Amino acid sequence: MNPGSIPARILVVDDQESNVQVLGNMLSQQGFEIVPVTDGEHALQRLITRPADLVLLDVLMPGLDGFEVCRRIHARPELADIPIVFLSAADDKTFIVRALEAGGVDYVTKPFNKAELISRVRTHLALKQARDRLRQLAEDKDELLGILAHDLKNHLGGMQMSAQLLNDRINASQDNRLKRIANNILSSSEQMLAFVKEFLANSAADRGAPLKLVAASLTESAAAAVLRYAEAARRKKITFVEAYASDTPFVLADRAALDQVIDNLVSNAVKFSPEGKRITIQAGPGSNGRGELRVVDEGPGCTDEDRAQMFLRYRRLSARPTAGEPSTGLGLSIAKRHVTAMKGELNCESIPGEGATFILRLPSIA
């Protein structure tokens, strides 16, 4: 330990007080704070009151044995990261396997070799400290990137709106050079804003925020997405065909996540469809008690390689947006994670050159 640092706290659990005393003396001399306990119930209570940095846990004890104590410790999220080293006089391979399967990180046999025990204790404390440091760095990184992305989104939203107004006004003029400049500004701001929005959505999906599963309507979410992309479709002379069966069931879904999934599917269909094509959106009852939504386009379709990679992050497909629209390579990956979290399926059927059909299936409400 470094001078002035807080000593590591080690919980020693053994039903033999003589063993607890020997271990306590041995480790106290190394500067560790020792918390002695002689049964499993008290060990759990001590940890709940104040977590330790490491647990040395006897295997065979009356009442709760070491295996059960270990399982109960790891069942509590606030204690799950505490490393547990099992102690036992039994040098039995079966015991060792059971200890590791219960969640232990190591197994030390009695009588202890002082140098070996101290070395193992220091190793597991160092590993825990490194994991804690990495977790904190990751949290700090996510927080910083989140702040930056939110701030960028606000500024880019204003920039994109101004660029749209500027582009509309300049397009009425005859100056082709100004038209190209205004169009470049608008295109760049749209691409940056789209990336920031999907980056934030990807971060939220990574954090695994709990979804609120309620009765949701596939047809309402699909119709709302069509309205949002009506203007983009009009500019490309794309026709939406909506076919919603009257017996389309309500599905069990998080409404915000469902909207985001369908929004992505409709947005992609518009992006990758050439001018003058159709996009068909169908909803109805699916197989195995599920609701089903299909988004069918007449774009370039997907290759086998595309289908193998399209739900991975930051993967660009072989097809490109037909009017220079932004594509970040994140949307389908986010959609897939949302659908999986809602216990549904998201798949693609496609033949290159003949368009693509994305199929969303979610559990229906009985």
- Give per-residue pLDDT as tens, 120-155: 999 999 999 898 888 888 777 766 666 666 666 666
Round to whole Å and give the CA distance between 291 and 306: 26
9-112 carries CATH number 3.40.50.2300: yes
CA distances (Å), origin 242, targets 10, 118, 266, 273: 64, 70, 12, 16
Round to whole Å and give the CA distance between 218 and 245: 11
Q: Residue 334's pLDDT is what?
A: 83
pLDDT single digits (tens) 12-49: 999 888 888 888 888 989 899 999 998 989 999 999 99
Give the CATH fold of the 210-366 domain: Heat Shock Protein 90 (3.30.565)
Query: Which residue's structure tokens are 């500019």?
Result: 235
Q: What is the mean pLDDT of each run of 10 residues along the chain (366 residues)?
A: 71 89 89 91 91 91 88 89 87 81 87 87 92 82 65 69 79 77 76 69 63 92 92 92 95 91 91 92 91 94 82 69 65 86 92 90 88
CA distances (Å), origin 79, targets 60, 99, 167, 224, 226: 22, 17, 57, 44, 47
Round to whole Å and give the CA distance between 106 and 127: 13
3-class secondary structure, 216: strand
| Burial label, 361 (beta-carbon count in 10 A; 0-12, 13-18, 19+) | buried
Q: Residue 176's pLDDT is what?
A: 80
Phi, psi of 322 (to 5 degrees): -80, -10
Domain boundaries, the chain: 9-112, 133-209, 210-366
Q: Residue 354's pLDDT is what?
A: 87
Round to whole Å and give the CA distance between 363 and 347: 15
Q: Residue 5's pLDDT is what?
A: 65
Round to whole Å and give the CA distance between 343 and 176: 52
pTM above 0.85, yes or no: no
Q: Residue 303's pLDDT is what?
A: 83
Q: Residue 276's pLDDT is what?
A: 93
Q: Residue 318's pLDDT is what?
A: 66
Q: Residue 314's pLDDT is what?
A: 62
Matching fold, domains 9-112 and 210-366: no
Q: Residue 135's pLDDT is what?
A: 82
